[in-house]
């Protein structure tokens, strides 16, 4: 994506440090100044990350193949918690999008439902449940899932507010 859109800044956030180190090494090797990966727990750090920016700074947010945390006692660790959803929704640009995908249908549905509880987003027309990747560039996990002839479940949401 960073190669295709050199005028857009991309920030990847990942909770597994080894993946972040490897991804940043790849960015440096490819000399991509518009791409950076950050190691953190987005649920505990999003306020800190966005506090220096104006409302509406986020043009697109994607949550890709999050850990499902199947055990009921662990579900509080799922990425789409109410506080995160509220912060993302309130910092989404007036024409911003939220792209969600997982290889587990119930996880995609749950993420979509959590965002839909917030009146700042709505389903993006007839393309709310996508059959292909909104970005057109596949993640490694997505490619692996599709190569196994398994399904990827997606949803696209859009900002419902104006920051003017």
Active site residues: 67
Render 71-127 in DSSP notation, one character per residue.
SGGGGGG-S--HHHHHHHHHTEEEEEEEEEEESSHHHHHHHHHHHHTSTTEEE-GGG
Tokens of 16: 């597994």
Within its chain, how far is the Cα of 17 from the centroid? 18
C-alpha distance from residue 126 to each of 94, 104, 119, 154 (Å): 19, 21, 19, 13
Non-local (6+) Cβ contacts of 136 within 8 A are none
Question: Among 11, 15, 35, which Cα is nearest to 25's?
Answer: 35
């Amino acid at each position: 994506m960073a190669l295709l859109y050199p005028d857009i800044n991309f920030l990847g956030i990942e909770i597994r440090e080894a993946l972040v180190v490897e991804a940043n090494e790849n960015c440096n090797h490819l000399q991509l100044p518009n791409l950076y990966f950050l190691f953190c727990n987005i649920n505990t750090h999003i306020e800190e990350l966005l506090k220096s920016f104006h409302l509406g700074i986020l043009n697109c947010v994607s949550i890709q193949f999050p850990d499902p945390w199947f055990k009921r006692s662990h579900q509080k660790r799922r990425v789409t918690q109410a506080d995160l959803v509220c912060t993302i929704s309130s910092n989404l640009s007036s024409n911003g999008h939220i792209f969600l995908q997982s290889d587990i249908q119930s996880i995609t549905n749950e993420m979509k439902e959590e965002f839909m509880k917030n009146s700042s987003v709505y389903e993006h027309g007839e393309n709310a449940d996508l059959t292909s990747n909104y970005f057109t560039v596949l993640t490694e996990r997505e490619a692996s899932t599709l190569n196994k002839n398994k399904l990827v479940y997606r949803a696209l949401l859009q900002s419902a507010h104006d920051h003017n």
